[in-house]
Amino acid sequence: MTEHVWSYKSTAGHLAGTDLTGYKVEATDGGIGKVDKHSDEVGDAYLVVDTGVWIFGKEVLLPASTVIRVDAAEKKIYVDRTKEQIKDAPEFHRDKHLGDPEYRAELGTYYSTGGPFGGRIV
């Protein structure tokens, strides 16, 4: 069941229309990078995070459901996954995967309650 993985939680404090570009992203165990691109589209919301040197300059795609808090004053976004969980997610290539429904389904399964964590933060 991956349909809600692409939506922000009502408790996250995200306001539709807010430009999140440049916000720092914090995993449960430290920073992972900055938002390079994002979508607020209902049912298709996500963050593209530039990880810089953390994983060799790659980007990761995080479904909106991973966001637990948006701190507009600090320009930080907190997600409910560890660095290792994010690093182990299916590899993301913007040109290839951003509009790819098969990749979205795979990533949605990875991050959803039916994914490898059973909905738990490990």
pLDDT in tens, the chain (122 residues): 445 899 999 999 998 899 999 999 999 999 999 999 999 988 889 999 999 876 666 899 999 999 999 999 999 999 999 999 998 999 999 889 988 999 999 999 999 854 455 444 44
Q: Give the ranges where the chain is alpha helix by DSSP (H).
A: 83-87, 94-97, 101-111
> b/e map of 62-77 (b: 16 or more CB within 10 Å)?
bbbbbbbebeeeeeeb
Distance CA 117, CA 30 (A): 19
Distance CA 90, CA 3 (A): 18
With tokens 């430290």, the residue in question is 30
Q: Model's pTM, two decimal places? A: 0.87
Domains contained in the chain, CATH given: 24-111 (2.30.30)
